Amino acid sequence: MYKKIKTMIRLTFNTTKKHILVTLDGTILADELNIPTVKVRDGFYEVMQKEASLTDEIQIPIIRLPINNTLMFIQK
């Protein structure tokens, strides 16, 4: 009997450059800058992007990836 191999999403977060790269089977799904943090919330990695408004800077979620099939790599 063969095991079904699950395809994993790869999330690479560079904390110095504030950059994320999301790939699936070598295909780039997202390539974003100005990412101060990746939060864990409700079984998902939530990628937060900084946006400047007229009054202050806010962080908004731009991508949610399920933790159970995402490999996260953190780079300095």
4 falls within a domain: no
Tracing tokens 């079904």 back to the chain, one arrives at 4
Task: Give CA 33 to chain center in angstroms.
Answer: 11
pLDDT tens-digit map of 24-35: 999 999 999 999
56 falls within a domain: yes
1 falls within a domain: no
How far is 8 from 15, CA to CA, in rounded Å?
Answer: 22
68 falls within a domain: yes
Across the chain, mean pLDDT equals 91
Structural domain harbouring 59: 9-75
| Number of independent structural domains in the chain | 1
Per-residue pLDDT of the chain (76 residues; tens, 9 = 90+): 666 667 899 999 999 999 999 999 999 999 999 999 999 999 999 999 988 766 778 899 999 999 999 999 999 9
The 8-class DSSP code of residue 1 comes to -
Q: How many CA atoms lie within 13 A of 59 on its CB side?
A: 13
Q: Indicate if the alpha-carbon torsion angle 70, 62, 60, 34 is positive or negative.
A: positive
Predicted model pTM: 0.85
3 falls within a domain: no
30 falls within a domain: yes
